[in-house]
């Protein structure tokens, strides 16, 4: 299984650590899983595993901040809304 530092570019990982903090890094890392050699992250909003692409990981960092730092409820969030 890949780690956050494997998926994100070095400068993006460093920025994420500085911007979101070690707590968020640890939380997102703990939600990574491996399925047949592919890394997934469990989405905080969708409650399902999604492919752990760099853009998805950054999305999860922002969701983590909204929920844990600002107290924004999961019920008020939507991810990848199609109209």
pLDDT by residue (tens digit) across 15-62? 999 999 999 999 999 999 999 999 999 999 999 999 999 999 999 999
Nearest CA to 31 out of 18, 43, 45 is that of 43
For residue 4, is pLDDT > 90?
A: yes
For residue 1, is pLDDT > 90?
A: no
CA-CA distance, 72 to 74, in Å (whole number)? 7
Domain positions in the chain are: 4-76
Instruction: Write a three-state SS string for the chain.
Output: CCCHHHHCCHHHHHHHHHHHCHHHHHHHHHCEEEECCEEEEECCCCCCEEECCHHHHHHHHHHHHHHHCCCCCHHHCCCCCCC
CA-CA distance, 50 to 83, in Å (whole number)? 21
Give the pLDDT confidence score for residue 36 in this predicted structure. 95
pLDDT by residue (tens digit) across 60-75? 999 999 999 999 999 9
For residue 83, is pLDDT > 80?
A: no
């Amino acid at each position: 299984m890949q780690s956050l530092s494997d998926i994100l570019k070095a400068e993006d990982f460093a920025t994420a650590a500085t911007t979101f903090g070690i707590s968020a890094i640890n939380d997102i890392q703990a939600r990574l899983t491996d399925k047949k050699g592919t890394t997934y992250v469990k989405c905080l909003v969708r409650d399902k595993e999604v492919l752990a692409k760099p853009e998805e990981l950054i999305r999860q960092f922002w969701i983590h901040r909204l929920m844990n730092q600002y107290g924004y409820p999961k019920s008020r969030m939507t991810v990848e809304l199609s109209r």
